[in-house]
Structure 1
Amino acid sequence: MGLRASYKQATFKALGGNLVREEVPLGLPGDGELLVKVEAYGSCHTDSNALYTTFDGGFPIVPGCEIIGTMAVVGDDVKSWKIGDCIRGGYHGGHCKTCDMCSPNWP
């Protein structure tokens, strides 16, 4: 799977602002990180909340928490994923850091 130098994202730049589509440089994952080629995305109520709150992260904010895709690049020290694996993610309200799904070794 060839990588492009950039990708498209939709961003809220300010509280209550419009969603802005922009092209940004693609960075490679660092140690323990993953790069996923998103193939399907589902928008949910949490994404609409991003327009009116910072989720304690500030702006700009890129909404999106429900995806299905393919593993494109795995960073150093990633042992449980390989390029080409199917990956899915959804909003789950936080990270407890103790259950299987929050474990860095999941799946």
Structure 2
Amino acid sequence: MRIITMVGSLQHGEQFTIEITSLGCFSGKRQTIQIINNEGIITANLNSSTKVLATFDIEELIRFELQLRELQIGGCSTVDKYVLSNVNETFVTNDGTCSWQGYKQLLALFE
């Protein structure tokens, strides 16, 4: 069975968001990335940064989402909560593995 990802199903004029909340014993942080398809040009926005996504970047987003949907329950004290949402779906999961750290893959898009 093939999973349809949010970025893979993004049509012209549509968008979705990836909200990441990281909570631990000594830290807490929330960031939101907005992915927009504007006439076939897909951009990602984070804070005041905007990036036009190349094919490689889109493939990274797809890989990120597929990994996120397959995460197993962890036992770490720091838990990263991911909320992916568009007009049709909201997917929520937590990463408590302390080993995946998928948010770093996303932030690397803006480097």
State the TM bucket, normalised to the shorter chain: under 0.3
Q: Max radius of gyration: which structure?
A: 1
TM-score, structure 2 length as denominator? 0.26
Q: If each structure's strand is expressed as a fraction of its own residues, which one has the higher value?
A: 2
